[in-house]
Amino acid sequence: MAQKILAVHPERCTGCEKCVLWCSFIKSKVFNPARSRIHVIRSEPYVDIPMICIQCGLCMDACPIKAMNRNPKTNAVVIDEEKCTSCGRCVTACPYGVLTLDPVTGKAIKCDLCGGDPECVKHCPKKVLYYVEPNKAAYLRRLMEYGGAISIGRKEPIGPPERL
């Protein structure tokens, strides 16, 4: 079975930032969007897009002291906080702007897929985020093309069942 991936249907996003707050709460035990590993772009007239880490690993190559490793089980790139020197090179390397330095600890923070059970996915009210096998993700993407994108209208969005 192929390794699951984190994917998004931004069309459905209402911009509520639940994913952002759950991320900061689970990882840092506080509420602070600046300490989240997922971010939501909200701009006008009506753009809401969750920006996620796709685990591409460019940060891994940029880190001068090799403080990052790929977790073989989840395929996620994970930072060793002990080693991190807060130099910020990984931040420069990240093409999506989702790797940041924690404003409180100063260490680099990034999505580690919560060890294979991403918290953001569990709490998204509109089924924007999902954690599935790549081919399932592709299938869901195709489904979006006929109407799943409509976040208004009575239709319940198609997608993986809610897991709370």
Stretch that binds other proteins, among 41-49, 70-78, 89-97, 129-137 (CB under 8 A): 41-49
The answer to whether the CB of 54 falls within 8 A of the CB of 134 is no
- Alpha-carbon distance values, 135 to 84, 89, 124, 138, 139 (Å): 35, 33, 21, 5, 6
Stretch that binds other proteins, among 1-9, 56-64, 86-94, 119-127 (CB under 8 A): 119-127
Nearer to other proteins, 110 or 127 (CB): 127
| Binding-site string for other proteins from residue 135 to residue 154, where x marks contact by CB under 8 A and - marks none | ----------------xxxx
Give the whole-angstrom CA distance, residue 137 versus residue 142.
9
The answer to whether the CB of 45 falls within 8 A of the CB of 104 is no
Sites of contact with other proteins (CB under 8 A): 14-18, 21-22, 25-26, 28-35, 42, 44-46, 48, 103-104, 123, 125-126, 151-155, 162, 164
